[in-house]
Structure 1
Amino acid sequence: MVNQKQGFIERHGLWSDAQKAAAEALVAQIKQSGIRNVRVGWGDQHGIVRGKTVSAEHFIKCLKDGKDFQLVTAIFDTTNHPIVPPFGAENHLGIPEMIGLPDGVLVPDPTTFRVLPWVEDTGWCLSDAYFGNGAPCPLSTRQILREQVAKLESDGMGMLVGLEFEFYVFRMLDPKLSPADSGYPPAAPEVEMISHGYQYLTETRGDEIEDLLSYLQKNIDALGLPVETIEDEWGPGQIEVTFDPLPPLEAADAALLFRTAIKQLCRRKGYHASFMAKPKIANTFPSGWHMHQSLVDAETGANLFAADGEDTPLSKLGMAYLGGLLAHASGSALMSTPTINGYKRRAPNSFAPLKAAWAKENRGAMLRVIGQGGDPASRIENRVGEPTANPYLYIASQILSGRDGIARDIAPGDPVTAAYDEDRPDLPESLMAAIDGFAADDVIRTELGEKAHHYLVSLKKFEVARFLSEVTDWEHREYFEMY
């Protein structure tokens, strides 16, 4: 680097050789391109981007010293309620570096840098969270995924992940910005549909919102995200976007950028985009996040799920990986479906799974196996996730579950045909049940580490407690007049 004095990043050895080279090139790019500001982002525990906007000159300094950042955000629920007393002895959750809530350091990953096409002269760069002593923050979910990827690589394998997001776009009528609506959390915006009816993959319906889809695609393409398809989904104003396969960390980074970009782009045009699984809007069909995945040979790139013959849909390794996903279906639900609302998309024949089961080309099963007889595109589609899931945790849950399946050669059992009716283990029906399953899974506890595991349990128990303390519309209708 051009700086003579050794900085925080170099002093603690926080970058790979590839990142060092990318940083050198990035300094030259920023100086030549006229970029004024850079958004230094961090994917928090909820998969929401937090961070700071800094001047281009200051960002160049950040490439040496990192950027000071308040890691108090790590103890927030989705509405910024601290899950523990911010200055109590218990706020550290077993992490001494967080006592008193001192600043942490966001270390930019220069390989993630993008120029935002919808913001004038502004760049965007993801970062990793560290403490002032150079230790990685154990609550940083990008680090959790990186550790799982490293374990997979130590086994001589890599992974490819295909993202498939469903979400809604509504026309904004009233953003609810009055003081009375600015609560904790604030009032939801008032919206209307952008199209009518349930018209799955109908060309005319898609054409009705072509201006919007083209606007979104143009900007997403400009970010360098590998969009494969963008189309109207089942519900009115529901959209599905799929991506070409990516390595796991790149896929998670892309998911994070994609969601925040979609919300910003829509808001600028008078729309409201929501990745909520089941909005409380009449005639909306639930949205899911289907994750396609396969393992590849780290040296050759060959698909390790491809079967040798016609008698099995996946290789022996692939079937054991499949068995691992099923064995940890209950334990990993907290990582794939982390909200109370996410469990409300599950119902018989709803395209959302109810049981820990697999099938060949069956969209009612949790795990849909695609490919047979040596097909190089052989893969597993996990249909259990919700679109709000933290992408680092969701992908990490697949790796650790699949690796355990391979290590113990777990048999997945027979495929199902009637996915909602057969006698297979039920998936958690609520976030409360998912917390119990997560807490009871010793493999997940060991893989994540005690601190991260305890933290995620605490985070979600706090969310559940807030939900249970709220008097709902259902309760008021049910009891207020009758009693």
Structure 2
Amino acid sequence: MSELASIRPAGVAAVEEAEAFLAAHPDITAFDLVLVDANGIARGKIIRRHELLPLFRSGRHLPGSILGLDVTGEDVEETGLVWADGDADRRAWPIAGSLVRLPWTSPPRGEVRLALYELDASPMAADPRHALARRDNMLKAEGYHPVLAYELEFYLLDRQRDADGGFQALRLPLSGERPEGIQVYGVSELDRLEPFIDAVYQGAEVQGLPVETLISEYAEGQFELTLRHGAALRAADDLVMLKRLIRAVALRHGMMACFMAKPFADRAGSGMHVHASLNDGNGRNLFADEGGVLVAPLRHAVAGLLETMDESMLVFAPHLNSWRRFSAQSYAPTAPTWGFNNRSVAVRIPAGAPGARHLEQRAAGIDANPYLVGATVLAGIHRGISSKSDPGPEARSYRPGASDELPPDWRSAISAASSSAFLRDALGERLHHVFLALKRAEYRRFAAEVTALERKIYGESV
């Protein structure tokens, strides 16, 4: 086993990356090791400075069960990653280019993100990042080079709960006031958020994150940040890092950054819209318009996403709360529809320069795992292009005669995902099994809970 443990996987970070980083940052005393699980939760440990070079030279053992935890951090035996294999160690290796400074810590710390491998150096199939890498490589082998960009919607909340224990909007740093009214695209609210905004943009620059536009969104305390498009894996990495940055900066400014899909029943939900296109080997956009019309590959890609959407919804809406986001006239899709310059549909073709044409998948919530979302979106695109599917007529409303609806709730989505050969292929057999085991365990946990609303309504009336 000692020989197996020393095998170095292809493509992991080189030791020279760590040596150069340590030389350039003599003040950093420790490093966060971050591995993202199927729920999109960052897990890992903090190591001391002297432990960094050994990590880059030979990796580091981590239990496989770290990828078999539910959203509360409890082991889920049904994943097969806990006692079924004796909670066996795998080996974590640093991801190339992921070693960065953490701009919010004192004393200074750094961060390096990890991917998990078997001891024989093969990718550990339950690691979500490997699922996206596999799908990305499959497309590249056929001459398609995926380009993705994620939008991040989130709420900034007061860390103090209201009298009933519920969330309440933040106090804007410069004025001390809570925002009132929706004020979508309002610039005054952004101006009054200046210390937080400045810290996020500075932190993004330190970490090399391509953060662009900030928007006041469709609810008090709701905002959106966009990320510049890039290669598929890097785009998902960027979103993971940006969520961590926003959460850390908010904490240090007395706020709570909330990435629930629907933290308030009467306010807008938060999405993770995915913009996608395919380039050829020379960097030419294969979705670019020709003669003023949408090209066949783009139409096929849209069709593939629509055909697989019902099977994919558990990836896009993985939690109980995720399903509260979907309602008519809410900017969250309720049917597998598509349209040009139309925000009511599930797959939108945004307006813009013909040469930059791309699609936008709007079903995913910000609580979803970007690696799983990316892998599933690319698999749907690939299916549509391979089968030359047609998306049918363009939609102009939420339900323009759509014959197939999305699953109505979390339980239905679990059932659809469980029987889906498409999703099993998109995620890989092992990760599909693990993900379904986690979701079933979480469903049972929430289904068994008696809520305060139930006690209030039924307590003395039935």
Indicate if the aligned counterparts of 2:156 and 2:169 stay in contact, CA closer than 8 A. Answer: no
Unpaired runs of at least 5, structure 1: 1-5, 85-89, 176-186
Give the number of equivalent residue pairs: 452
Q: 2:170 aligns with which of 187, 190, 193?
A: 193
Q: 2:223 aligns with which of 223, 227, 239?
A: 239
Shift of 1:193: 3.3
* TM-score (norm. length: structure 1): 0.88
CA distance in 2, matches of 1:379, 1:78: 33
Kindly report which structure 2 residues correspond to 1:211-230, keeping only aligned pairs within 5 A, or say none.
Answer: 211-230=195-214
Match of 1:308 in 2: 290
Match of 2:309 in 1: 329
Q: 2:121 aligns with which of 122, 134, 153?
A: 134
Change (3 A) 1:212 1:449: closer
Shift of 1:291: 1.0
Change (3 A) 1:294 1:61: same
CA distance in 1, matches of 2:219, 2:248: 22
Shift of 1:189: 8.0
Unpaired runs of at least 5, structure 2: 172-178
CA distance in 2, matches of 1:137, 1:466: 27
Kindly report which structure 2 residues correspond to 1:56-455, keeping only aligned pairs within 5 A, or say none.
Answer: 56-84=49-77, 92=80, 99-119=85-105, 120-173=107-160, 191-194=168-171, 195-280=179-264, 284-297=267-280, 299-310=281-292, 312=293, 314-371=294-351, 375-455=354-434
* TM-score (norm. length: structure 2): 0.92
Shift of 1:295: 0.7
Match of 1:333, SS?
A: helix
Q: Deviations over 1:111-161 (max 9, x none)?
A: 111111112432111111123343322110011111001101101111111
Indicate if the aligned counterparts of 1:8 and 1:65 stay in contact, CA closer than 8 A. Answer: no
CA distance in 1, matches of 2:189, 2:370: 30
Change (3 A) 1:352 1:135: same
CA distance in 1, matches of 2:94, 2:3: 13
Q: Deviations over 1:28-57 (max 9, x none)?
A: 331342122111111111111111111222
Q: Which moved more, 1:467-476 or 1:131-140?
A: 131-140
Match of 1:286, SS?
A: coil
Q: Which moved more, 1:381-390 or 1:31-40?
A: 31-40
What residue identity is the alignment partner of 1:287?
Answer: S
Shift of 1:24: 1.1
Match of 2:47 in 1: 54
CA distance in 2, matches of 1:428, 1:116: 40
CA distance in 1, matches of 2:161, 2:335: 40
What residue identity is the alignment partner of 1:363?
Answer: R
CA distance in 2, matches of 1:172, 1:380: 37
Q: Deviations over 1:149-208 (max 9, x none)?
A: 110110111111121111001121269xxxxxxxxxxx9886543322210011222222
Match of 1:183 in 2: none
CA distance in 2, matches of 1:232, 1:143: 34
Indicate if the aligned counterparts of 2:336 and 2:402 stay in contact, CA closer than 8 A. Answer: no
Shift of 1:252: 0.8
CA distance in 2, matches of 1:215, 1:111: 23
CA distance in 2, matches of 1:304, 1:331: 26
Match of 1:153, SS?
A: helix
Indicate if the aligned counterparts of 1:8 and 1:64 stay in contact, CA closer than 8 A. Answer: no
Match of 1:12 in 2: 7
Q: Deviations over 1:36-90 (max 9, x none)?
A: 2111111111111111111222110110111222332222111012222xxxxx6
CA distance in 1, matches of 2:329, 2:169: 27
Q: Which moved more, 1:376-385 or 1:74-83?
A: 74-83
Match of 2:442 in 1: 463
Indicate if the aligned counterparts of 1:307 and 1:316 stay in contact, CA closer than 8 A. Answer: no
Q: Deviations over 1:264-320 (max 9, x none)?
A: 11112211110101114x7532111111111111x211111112222x3x2111111
CA distance in 1, matches of 2:212, 2:393: 32
What residue identity is the alignment partner of 1:59?
Answer: L
Indicate if the aligned counterparts of 1:305 and 1:318 stay in contact, CA closer than 8 A. Answer: yes
Q: Which moved more, 1:98-107 or 1:36-45?
A: 98-107
What residue identity is the alignment partner of 2:378?
Answer: I
Indicate if the aligned counterparts of 1:357 and 1:424 stay in contact, CA closer than 8 A. Answer: no
Change (3 A) 1:7 1:121: farther
CA distance in 2, matches of 1:429, 1:215: 40
Match of 2:19, SS?
A: helix
Change (3 A) 1:338 1:242: same
Q: Deviations over 1:216-247 (max 9, x none)?
A: 22212221110110121111111100011011
CA distance in 2, matches of 1:370, 1:319: 13
Shift of 1:382: 0.9
Q: Percent identity?
A: 27
CA distance in 2, matches of 1:55, 1:463: 35
Indicate if the aligned counterparts of 2:80 and 2:434 stay in contact, CA closer than 8 A. Answer: no
